Each structure stands twice: as C-alpha cells, then as structure tokens.
Structure 1
Amino acid sequence: MPFLSLANLPNLKFLLADENNIVMEPNSFHTSIPKFQLNVFSLSKCTTDKGLSLQPPKFLYYQYDLGYVDLSYNYFSETVPLWLLENNTKLENLFLLGNSFTGPLLLPQLPNPKVSVIDISKNKLQGQIPTNICSTFPNLEWLLLSKNAFEGNIPPCLSGMDTLSFLDLSDNHLSGRLPEELIMGSSLDILRLSNNNLSGKIVPMMFNTSKLSNLYLDGNNFTGEIPDIDVSASDLSYSSLEDIDLSNNSFNGKLPRWIGNVPHLKRLALSNNHFEGSIPMELCNLYKLEFLELSQNNLSGSIPSCFNPPYLRHVHVKRNRLSGPLTLVFSSSALVTLDLRGNNLTGNIPKRIGTFSALSVLLLKDNHLNGEIPVQLCKLYSLSIIDLSGNMFSGPIPSCLGNLTLAMQEEKSRMDDYFYIANRIQHLLVPIDIWFDLSHVFPSSSMKEWIEFTTKSVSYSYGGDILKYMSGIDLSCNRLTGQIPVELGNLSEIRSLNLSHNNLVGVIPSSFSQLKQIESLDLSYNNLSGRIPIQLVELNFLEVFSVAHNNLSGSTPEPKAQFGTFDESSYEGNPLLCGPPLQNNCSKTDSPTTVPTTADDEGEGSFMDTYVFCVSFLVSYVIVLLVIFVVLYINPYWRQAWFSFIESCITTCRYSVVGNFLELYIFKRCV
C-alpha cells in the first residue's frame, strides 16, 4: 500500500485500509511528514506471510490526534511501538493482536487517562505484566493480553480498577494465587484466566458477585474441594454469573450444591477434574442452563429425573461412572448435542428420542446399551454425527437411516449481539458512529463445542467451523445382524461410516459408490460375501478403506485413484480374494464368474463316467456268458465236466445244510 500517495491530503481524518497488501515503504517516506492528522487508522489483516519482517508504518510517528488504531494480524515484529502511546494522548482504543511483537511490554511514563481498550493478544511478549499498568491507564475498560508468554503474578492493582470490565490474561504462564478481590471487589464483567499456572483453592464467596457474568478459570492448577455454602445465609439470587468454567483443574470432592442456586447460570463446565458422587438435585433449579459439561470425572448414579432445563442445548457427561437405564429425561426441543459416552448406562434407546428435533450429535459409545436401533432416529433430520459403537445393540440396521441428510445445522452464536461495538470519537468536529468487528475478543470461544469422533482409525476432536462439515455414523462393535441396507448409499454427505465388528451378512451394496464425500469406510470383521463392487473406485475422497476378515471373493478393485493407496491390511482375512495388493494372483485362482461353469463341468463329467462304466460292465458280462455258452455247446467234454462240477457243488451244499441242521437239533435237545 503506497501511503506516500496520501501524504498531501490535509483533511484526511479516517484511513481504513483493512485486508490490503502491505508493501515496504520507500525510504523517502521515512523522512517526509504527512500533512494530515488522522483520528482513526485501521490496517488489519493486510498480510498472511509470517516470513515477512514488517514494522508499523513510519508515518504514524507524526500522528498526534489518533483516537482509534488497529494494526491487528499483520505479523509486525520487534517491540510494541511505545511511541504510539506516547505521541497520541487522545488515544482510546489500541488493537495490536495477532502480530509478532516480542520482548517485555513497556508502558509510557506519563499516564494516559483516555485509553479504554488495549488488546495485544496473540503476540510473543515475555516477562511480567507491568505493575504500573493501572496508573498509566487509570480508566481502562478492556485489557486483553492473552496468548503471550507473560509470567509471574497477576498485578494486585487490577483488583482496584473501578472501570475495568473485561480482563483476559488467558494462555500465558502466570502463576501464584487468584486474588479474591479481583472477583469480589472489582467491576469486572468478564474475567478470563484460562490456561495458566494459577494454583490454590477457590473460595465459594467469589461466586456471590452482582457484577461478574463470565468466569473462566479452566486449565490451571487449582486443587481441593469447592465447599458448600449456606444458601440461606448467603443470597446468591443477586449473582449475575452466566458462565462458569472450572474445567481442566484438580478439584475433588462432590459437586457443590450451591451452583443450583445461581439464578442466571447458562453455561457450566466442570470437566476433567476429580469430582465424585452423584449429580446434585439442585442442578434441576438451573432453569436457564444451555450448556452442561461434566465429562471426565468420577460421577456415579444417574442423571436426576428432574433435570430438564427447557433451553438446554449441549450436554456432555462422557467418561464418568453413570449407571442405570438411558431414560433421556431431557425434553428440551433445543437439544443439539447429547454426549454420554464411556459410562455404564444400560437398557435400550427410548423411542421418545424421536422428539429431539434439533439433535445434531448423538454420542452413546462404550456403554452397555442393548436392543435394536430405534427407527425413531430416522426422524431426526438434523443429525450429523451418530456414535453407538461399543454397545450390545442387535437386530438389523434401520434402512431409513439412509434418509438422513447428515448436515450440521449452523448455530447462531450466543455472542452475535456483541460482535460489533460503537465507538464515539468525541473530539471530531462532526460526530460519527463507527462500527468495528470485535468478534475476536469476546469469550464465545471459551465454551466452544468440541466433539470427539473416531474416523480413519483415529479419534479426532472437531470444533468450531470444522464441526459444521463433519458427518459420520459409527455402529461398530455391536451385535448387529442382517444385510447392509442399500439405502445407506443415499448418505451423499457422509464423511465416515463404520460398521465393523458386527455379524452382518450379504453383499456390499454397489450403492456405496454414491457416497461421494466419504473419507473413511470400515466394513471389517463381519460375514459379508460376494464381490467388492468395482464402482467403489469412484470414491475420490476415500482415505481409509477396510473389508478385512469377511468372506469376500473375486478380485480386488482396480488399484487406481484412492484404491491405489490401500495396502494388504484393507483386504486380509478373505481367502477367496485375489489381486493386488494381495499375494493371491487372480490368474492362478479361479474368479467367481468361472466357478459355476467349473462346477457344472465337473458334475457332467462325473455323470458321463458312471454311465460309461455301467454300459461297459453290462456288455462285458453278456460277452462272458455268451463265450461260456458257445464253448460248452461246441465241446462235449467241457460240457460234461461243467455239469459234473455243478452237480458236485449242489450235492456238497445239500449235505452241508442237512448236517448243520442235525447238529443244531441235537444241541437243543441236550440243553
């Protein structure tokens, strides 16, 4: 961008140059002083090349009336431009996130009471957070320093800032204890301290605040129990908390019951701790709850039957020790995600699951569920991910599953209303409202939906925009029987299909060639027979394919396109299969198309051999008799000898029979 061409515009006040291409400034521009004095300068997202070593435009050295500066996502290097703060005493909003600034954060010596927003997130800053930050910016409202390498303690002075409403120090190396005053005695609305090395215990009174609405302490080293408090003595009805995230710590003991008395709570995340015991009944009071994350604890018992928040959208209680039947107490028509994997749930899937019209993700893997897969699942047209693997489901696969669209519904973010703010530039001659995209600073991502799903033989986590494009069905490791429904070939948007380790029979449907988006197809360890459809070579996105350990026969698909990348393990355990990459050569092994002909030939040959043998034997027998008759007729001597031999044999047989009869008669009389 040639800023030199703008140098002679004395009335220029606003310069918005976002998403352009940055070019190196000519040396002449370093010494020339522009005639304009800007009030607003925005130069964000102007380079995607991290290899460039760029610096902020030098003409900013000569700007003294700036009220708004945005230099985000340009990979500017070296240190934070201290001169930008020193020269512009009217500066209110400074955005430097997404660059490559290094070294310690240096601040001006003189205070700047105008500054209200500072965002230097996603850089490479090191050292401690300056202790004079509160005195330098006494009217600071937003301070965002996340995703750097800051270390040390949280400056105590931040607890006394009356104007500070949004503090984000997440994803650093901060240590020490969490100052209670930072929550209880400040004006904070949003506090994000995720993914640091903070330690100590949490005092329940921290949650009894009328100002704080979003508290994120996940990914730290907090330990101990969260003790219960006397609800009657401490009125939590004044609490403004909507988000509580204490996940990924080392808390233990039972879930605190007082959480059920936080009236405005919408999102609760306590996953990956050491909580034990049952889910408290008090959670049934959370009428406004939308998001519940209790995964990877030691919770036992069952989900309380009264737990049925009407606005509940996401339920994650995976990898606990919950037991009992899958009663599906939820009746929220807004339910989008149900993740109960890795528990001890029993029984079948209730038919009323067909009433969850908004359900997009159903994860029931690794439980003890049985019965047939209900056809009511086919009514859930919003379903995109189904994981029923590792259970004891039996019966056929419902053919109506082929009617699912498997398209993730795009969910409107709860923070949409915050994505833009109005900044009034008070000192302009003509007041004007300017709207800027500030979606990157708000905490909607702090409770982002993450879904684990096994595809391509690997367990992946999907979240954010990627989740919108993921779709799959996993019915593996069950006791399913019958044939694979041809209708599954209608799932044109599916990315992963796993039917392995069942008792399926029949052929592989040729309709699977219509699964144009599929990346992983696993049909191994069944009793499938017949040929592998040659049409499957049309699947251009297929990365993992397995039909191992079945009863398939014939030749393997032609090794072209994606099928040229599959090795012998994709086909092993099928003795009648031949062709590459197997060792069996189809030229030495009869193909299935020639087997019936060979069998017919063998049957016909066997019949002919028997017929010839019988005719030959009969003819030979007749010839022998005729020869004997002719010889006896012609030669009288041989005729007389033959008749004497016959008479002698008859006499011998007669006397032998009579003698044996007399011996038997005498023996019976003696007895």
Structure 2
Amino acid sequence: ILNFKNLEYFNMDFCTAFSNSFLQMSELMASLKYLSLSNSYLNGTILDQGLCELVYLQEVNIDRNNLSGSLPWCLANLTYLRLLDVSFNQLTENISSSPLMNLTYIEELWLSNNHFQISISLEPFFNHSKLKFFDGDIYAEIETSHSSLTPKFQLTSISLFGHGDSGIFPKFLYHQHDLEYVDLSHLNLTREFPNWLLEKNKKLKRLSLVNISLFGPFPLPIHCHKNLRVLDVSNNKLQGHIPIEIGEVLPNLVVLNVATNAFNGSIPSSFGNTWPWGCFYLEYLVLSNNSLQGQLFSKEFNLTKLKRLNLDGNHFIGDIPKTLSNCSALQGLYISDNNISGNIPTRLGNLSFLDAIMMPNNRLEGPIPSAFCQLRHLEILDLSRNNISGSLPSCSSPFNIRRVHLSKNMLQGPLLGDLSYNRLNSNIPDWMNRLPQLRYLILANNGLEGEMPLQLCWLNKLQLVDLSHNNLSGQIPHCLYNISFNYREDNHDLFDQDPQILYQLPQLQILYTNYHNHKYLTNFTTKQRLYTYEVQPLHSMSGLDLSCNKLIGEIPLQIGELSRIHTLNLSHNNLTGESPVTFSHMKQVESLDLSYNNLNGKIPPRLIELNALAVFSVAFNNLSGKTPDRVAQFGTFEEDSYEGNPFLCGQPLLKSCNENGP
C-alpha cells in the first residue's frame, strides 16, 4: 500500500488485516476513488478512520461493520461522492442535520439497519437532483410537513422499512415516474392498494408492500403493465376477489405473493391463459392463508415455468387437477389445510424437480403413488392428517429424503419419519441407517414388533425418537449413546437475510413469506403431557420415548451418557435390574419416567444433582431403600412419583425409614 499513491480502486471486503488503522494512512492513497470495506470488522466512529482525507472518493462501501456515532461533517467535503453505503452498522443521528444534506450530487444512499432518524417525506433530500437509489429505515414516522415543495430527484429504487405508524403514502412518491424497485414494507400506512404507483411508473419491476396494513379491494392499473416481475402484498388486510384480469394486466409476473390477506373467491382463470394474456412467466405463486375457495385450477391451467405453488390455508375443494403435471419445473407444492379430496395423481411422480410435497390436513385418500419413487430430489414429504391407505411404495434407498410426515392416516406396512397413529406392523426396517440426516423418527402408536435394530445407532444426528405404544421386544441397544440428541442444523432461512437479497438470488428455491405456516407438526410426550411441536421449536427439544412396549433386560449404563437429552421415557415395559447410576450425568434432562417396570435396588442418590428435572417417576417397580433427599428439584416431587414400590421409604411416602432397614 505504501507504494500505491496512484491507487484508485481498493476492495478489502471480509478482510480484517487493516481493520481500524489503515485509513489513518489515507494521505498515502490520495487518488483513491473506490473504497470497499464491507464486513471488515471496523468499529468506533467514522471520524476515527481518516475517511474524509480521501477527497476524490466516488464510491464508499463500509456496510456491515460495527461503526457507531454519527456521520462526520467532513463528509460534506467529498464532493465527488456518488455512492455511500453505511448500512448494517450502529450509526445514529437525525439525518436532516447530517452532512448528507450537502452531498447534493450523490446518486445512491444506503442507510438501512442503523438508528438514523429519517422522515418518511424525504424532504431533506429534495435538492439532491442526482439521487437515484435510497435505502433507509423510517424512525421519524409520521409525515407532518405541509410543504408544497416537490423533489428534484427521480428515483429508480426506494426502500423504506418502517418501525411504527407512518400514516399515509409519502407525497414524494406521487412525483416519481422512473421507479423500478419499491419496497415500503412494515410502514403501517393503513391505505388502499396504490395502483397509481403502477400507472405512474411503467418501468416498475418489483413492488413489495409487505405488512403495511393495506385494506379494501385489490385494484389493478387500467392499462397493461409489462415490466412488473415481482409483486408482494402479503400480510395485509386486502379483501374481495383477486382480479380476474390479473394475468392480462400483469402478464410478465415472475413472483406473486398475496399470502395472509382476506381474499375470497376462486383463483383467476387468467393465471393459466397462454401468453400474452396470462402469467406465462410465473415461477412463484403464493396464495396462502386467505379464504379462497372452489377448484384449484381450471382446465386451461398451463403455468409451465412454475417452481413454487403455495395454496395452503384456504378452502379449496375437489381433486388435485391433472393439469398440475404441466408444471414440469415445479419444485415445491404446498396445499395443506384445505378440503382437497380424491387420490394423489400418479402424474406428480413425473415432476422430477419436486423437492417438497406438503399436503397435510386435507381429505386425500387412496395409496401413495409408486411414481413418487422417481422423485430423486424429494427431501420433504408431508401427507399427514388425511385418509391415505395402503402401504408405502417399495422404493430404492431414499438418500435425499429428510422429513417424512404421514401420521394420522390409514397406512399399513413399515416406513420411517413421523408415522404415528397408523396401522404399521412388522419390524423397524434395517435399511434406516441409509438416512444419515434423519433428525426426527416418530413411529408411535403402530404395531411395530421385533427388536430395535442396531442400525438405529448409526443415525447420530437424531434429535427426537418416539417408538412408544408398539410391540417392540428385546433389550435396549447399548449403542444408543452414539446418538447425540442435540444435533442442530445450521439454518439459513431466507427471511433472516436482508429482504433485498430475495431479488438477487437467481437460484432461489424456496419462497416462504409466511414462514409460520410451513412448520411441521408432531406429537411428543414429555413431562407426562402430550405436546404438539413444530419443527422450529424442536430445535431446542430432544428426547427418547420407548414407553409402552415389551422391552426386557437391564437399562444400559450408556443411556446415562446422553448428557444433552431433555426427556427420557422408558415406562410401561418389562425392564429389570437397577436404575443406572449414570443417570446423574443427564444434566439437561427435564423429564425422566421409569414407571411400570420391574426395576429393583435403590434409587441412585446422586439424581438430586439433576437441577433441570421437572417430572420424575419410578412408580410401580420393585425398588427399595430410601427415597432421594428432598432437596433442589426432588423437593417438588410428591408421593405419586414413588408409589407402587412397597420396599421404598422416606418422604414424601408415608412409610418412614429406620436405622435397621426400611
């Protein structure tokens, strides 16, 4: 760097080598025009960094650091500056009294995810005639100015993320006609859909109005708008019918998200019309959580480019249309919580790109098509809470499958995943070790028999295992301690990211705006209660339930080494021997149920070290000796935790102990 006095371009994104100190050498880089230090762990104030000495700067990217304080006034001297990105820092000040007011030739301002006070009117920037891109968070919310001034700028992109009540659409928007990107999410504007934005801005490509309290009907512009690619009005209060002419007015839509509104009526037939009178290019159609009804699609449905179809949480009836097989690019099908009936079309097996099929809580019947075996990319299958019958298709090793939810149907024969409350019988399949990513194994309330396969121990990422209420026999495998019961998969949920990133992902595979409705439900008994868990809460839940079987032999000492397990239920079996002293190692266990077995010997006294224990039962065994000291959690357990052991004594039992014996 010391020899680069003529250096004009400097990019050290994601680099900590120079961190806070290198800009103090700014006099050695006097010709610098482009500076990028994104994600470089810069901290402190910008004034401390020597930035203002680089007077020829045209672009500055110091976003995603830990900078604090206010913008230094010397920034006003950077008269060549055209782009400033300070987003994702800890900066704070009233923007109307900041040096940005003097940078009237600036073209792009990226200010979001700080603590700036920015008026929704943007009036402080009305003299910035070159301004094209503005990205910021609105904290000074309500537009109070009655000024008749009009802005000198014509924006191309505007992102204003709200933090409270903003009242009305900002007046400057009525003067814009070159907009291509608009995001006003979370501004709580409480207004009708602004179809005038589309009328005035023929170049508009993306319009995001998520959760801004829009209400009333959904009027479209009068004339065809050929440039709009993304329209997201989810999480509002829009009502009435989705306009029947939407395919004709917005023929080039790629993403349409109207989830979580109050729309009723049927799906507009114009969605399936041929180009140029339909949404021929539509890839993501999200209509979840409305009051839509009728058949899913008309016979003309022909969205061949569709990748994600979200129709869950409505009142659709009838069969799954065969025309859905025309969607040869379909990757995700979500139609849960409707009244869909009939058989699952065999033709769905021809949609080779499908990775998720979510159809729980409908009235589907008949068998699962054997054609599903052709879906080599399938990772998630949820057909729970239907009337599906028959047995599972005999497929070759399902290497890609991660989650299977088929509970509360009328299935027969063996399988895996969440298959509780079916009519499965036979043994647990020994090929289960071919599913190394399996996290939840729910096979409760079936007719499973035979011994637990040792291959189960190879699934070391299992977090929740429920084999209760079956006819399993034999001993508990010693190798179960290989299962961590604590596996946490790294989550990269789309909406943990900057919402703008959504439009920068050409390989986007899943579009979940109302993420709550794509969690997976399962039942699991812990603390003597049956809970219905969703997958997200299950990240903090781990357990092993082998209750209500015919297991015999001693409890392996190794089970006590499951130090991160939250619930262990071995009740209602024929287990013998003593309670393992290693149980005191399960420091995170909250529920421990060993009741209704044939255990003997003493209760390990060191169990009192289990400070997280909320439910404990050894009732109805053949235990003897003194109950654990009534300290810590054990001071909360009553007689029913110990009853049915005639040779036990000590509180809270009525039978006292004496020095000569129980």
| TM value normalised by structure 1 | 0.73
Structure 1 residue aligned with 2:251: 162
In structure 1, distance between residues paired with 2:472 and 2:568: 17
CA shift for structure 1 position 595: 0.9
Per the alignment, do residues 237 and 144 of structure 1 end up closer, same or farther by CA in structure 2, a change over 3 Å counting? closer
SS at 1:344's partner residue? coil
SS at 1:252's partner residue? strand
Structure 2 residue aligned with 1:461: 533
In structure 2, distance between residues paired with 1:104 and 1:237: 36
Per the alignment, do residues 68 and 528 of structure 1 end up closer, same or farther by CA in structure 2, a change over 3 Å counting? farther
Map 1:155-304 → 2, pairs under 5 A: 155-160=243-248, 161-184=250-273, 185-186=278-279, 187-203=281-297, 205=299, 208-226=302-320, 228=322, 236=325, 239-304=328-393
Map 1:204-603 → 2, pairs under 5 A: 205=299, 208-226=302-320, 228=322, 236=325, 239-306=328-395, 311-324=400-413, 326=414, 328=415, 338-410=417-489, 442=512, 445=515, 447-456=518-527, 457-464=529-536, 466-580=537-651, 582=652, 584=654, 589-591=656-658, 594-595=660-661
In structure 2, distance between residues paired with 1:238 and 1:121: 27
* Comparing 345-354 and 58-67, the one that deviates more: 58-67
* Contact 2:143–2:166, Cα closer than 8 Å, also in 1: no
* Contact 1:403–1:490, Cα closer than 8 Å, also in 2: no
* Comparing 439-448 and 388-397, the one that deviates more: 439-448
In structure 2, distance between residues paired with 1:440 and 1:223: 25
CA shift for structure 1 position 440: 10
Per the alignment, do residues 20 and 474 of structure 1 end up closer, same or farther by CA in structure 2, a change over 3 Å counting? same
The higher radius of gyration belongs to: 1
* Comparing 415-424 and 519-528, the one that deviates more: 415-424
* Contact 1:524–1:549, Cα closer than 8 Å, also in 2: yes
Structure 2 residue aligned with 1:105: 193
Per the alignment, do residues 192 and 399 of structure 1 end up closer, same or farther by CA in structure 2, a change over 3 Å counting? same
Q: Which letter maps to 2:266?
A: R
In structure 2, distance between residues paired with 1:344 and 1:91: 59
In structure 2, distance between residues paired with 1:416 and 1:85: 27
SS at 1:239's partner residue? coil
* Comparing 501-510 and 297-306, the one that deviates more: 501-510
* Contact 2:543–2:567, Cα closer than 8 Å, also in 1: yes
In structure 1, distance between residues paired with 2:535 and 2:329: 28
CA shift for structure 1 position 412: 6.8
Q: Which letter maps to 1:225?
A: D
* Contact 1:85–1:108, Cα closer than 8 Å, also in 2: no
Structure 2 residue aligned with 1:611: none
* Contact 1:480–1:504, Cα closer than 8 Å, also in 2: yes
In structure 1, distance between residues paired with 2:243 and 2:326: 30
* Comparing 523-532 and 474-483, the one that deviates more: 523-532
In structure 2, distance between residues paired with 1:249 and 1:390: 30
In structure 2, distance between residues paired with 1:61 and 1:364: 66
CA shift for structure 1 position 251: 1.6
SS at 2:588's partner residue? coil
SS at 1:104's partner residue? coil
CA shift for structure 1 position 583: 5.5
SS at 1:305's partner residue? coil
Map 1:601-616 → 2, pairs under 5 A: none
Per the alignment, do residues 484 and 18 of structure 1 end up closer, same or farther by CA in structure 2, a change over 3 Å counting? farther
Per the alignment, do residues 287 and 537 of structure 1 end up closer, same or farther by CA in structure 2, a change over 3 Å counting? same
In structure 2, distance between residues paired with 1:111 and 1:244: 36
Structure 1 residue aligned with 2:229: 141
CA shift for structure 1 position 298: 1.2
Q: Which letter maps to 1:143?
A: L
* Comparing 548-557 and 506-515, the one that deviates more: 548-557
In structure 1, distance between residues paired with 2:125 and 2:354: 55
Per the alignment, do residues 467 and 368 of structure 1 end up closer, same or farther by CA in structure 2, a change over 3 Å counting? same
In structure 2, distance between residues paired with 1:123 and 1:404: 46
Per the alignment, do residues 574 and 102 of structure 1 end up closer, same or farther by CA in structure 2, a change over 3 Å counting? farther
CA shift for structure 1 position 204: 6.7
SS at 1:338's partner residue? coil
SS at 2:487's partner residue? coil
Structure 1 residue aligned with 2:86: none
Per the alignment, do residues 423 and 533 of structure 1 end up closer, same or farther by CA in structure 2, a change over 3 Å counting? closer
Q: Which letter maps to 1:146?
A: S
Per the alignment, do residues 462 and 179 of structure 1 end up closer, same or farther by CA in structure 2, a change over 3 Å counting? same
Per the alignment, do residues 418 and 209 of structure 1 end up closer, same or farther by CA in structure 2, a change over 3 Å counting? farther
In structure 2, distance between residues paired with 1:537 and 1:371: 36
* Comparing 106-115 and 160-169, the one that deviates more: 106-115
Per the alignment, do residues 201 and 441 of structure 1 end up closer, same or farther by CA in structure 2, a change over 3 Å counting? closer
* Comparing 346-355 and 84-93, the one that deviates more: 84-93
* Contact 1:222–1:251, Cα closer than 8 Å, also in 2: yes
Describe the superposition over 1:292-344 as per-residue Cα deviations: whole angstroms up to 9, x where unpaired. Answer: 221111111111224665533332222111113x2x5xxxxxxxx72222111
CA shift for structure 1 position 249: 1.0
Map 1:64-83 → 2, pairs under 5 A: 64-72=153-161, 74-83=162-171
Per the alignment, do residues 563 and 124 of structure 1 end up closer, same or farther by CA in structure 2, a change over 3 Å counting? farther
- Structure 1 residue 94 and structure 2 residue 166: aligned? no
Describe the superposition over 1:404-447 as per-residue Cα deviations: whole angstroms up to 9, x where unpaired. Answer: 222325267697999887899xxxxxxxxx999x9996569475
CA shift for structure 1 position 563: 3.6
SS at 1:595's partner residue? coil
* Contact 1:80–1:106, Cα closer than 8 Å, also in 2: no
* Contact 2:246–2:270, Cα closer than 8 Å, also in 1: no
In structure 1, distance between residues paired with 2:564 and 2:444: 22
In structure 2, distance between residues paired with 1:531 and 1:84: 78
Match of 1:85 among 146, 153, 173: 173
Describe the superposition over 1:213-247 as per-residue Cα deviations: whole angstroms up to 9, x where unpaired. Answer: 21111111111233557xxxx9x577222222222
Percent identical residues: 38
In structure 1, distance between residues paired with 2:510 and 2:372: 32
Per the alignment, do residues 90 and 550 of structure 1 end up closer, same or farther by CA in structure 2, a change over 3 Å counting? farther
In structure 1, distance between residues paired with 2:502 and 2:550: 62
* Comparing 476-485 and 63-72, the one that deviates more: 63-72
SS at 1:105's partner residue? coil
In structure 1, distance between residues paired with 2:144 and 2:587: 49
In structure 1, distance between residues paired with 2:159 and 2:578: 61
* Contact 2:245–2:268, Cα closer than 8 Å, also in 1: no
* Contact 1:248–1:273, Cα closer than 8 Å, also in 2: yes
* Contact 2:495–2:513, Cα closer than 8 Å, also in 1: no
In structure 2, distance between residues paired with 1:253 and 1:243: 20
In structure 2, distance between residues paired with 1:227 and 1:108: 36
Q: Which letter maps to 2:354?
A: L
CA shift for structure 1 position 394: 1.5
Q: Which letter maps to 2:534?
A: Y
CA shift for structure 1 position 106: 4.1
What root-mean-square deviation, in Å, do the aligned CA atoms of Structure 1 and Structure 2 show? 3.8
Which runs of 5 or more structure 1 residues have no equivalent in the other structure? Answer: 48-52, 329-336, 425-433, 597-671
CA shift for structure 1 position 367: 0.5
Per the alignment, do residues 270 and 441 of structure 1 end up closer, same or farther by CA in structure 2, a change over 3 Å counting? closer
SS at 2:98's partner residue? helix
Structure whose residues are more often helix by fraction: 1
* Contact 1:243–1:265, Cα closer than 8 Å, also in 2: yes
Which runs of 5 or more structure 2 residues have no equivalent in the other structure? Answer: 1-91
Per the alignment, do residues 470 and 22 of structure 1 end up closer, same or farther by CA in structure 2, a change over 3 Å counting? farther
Per the alignment, do residues 533 and 310 of structure 1 end up closer, same or farther by CA in structure 2, a change over 3 Å counting? closer
* Contact 2:180–2:201, Cα closer than 8 Å, also in 1: no
In structure 2, distance between residues paired with 1:24 and 1:112: 24
* Contact 1:552–1:574, Cα closer than 8 Å, also in 2: yes
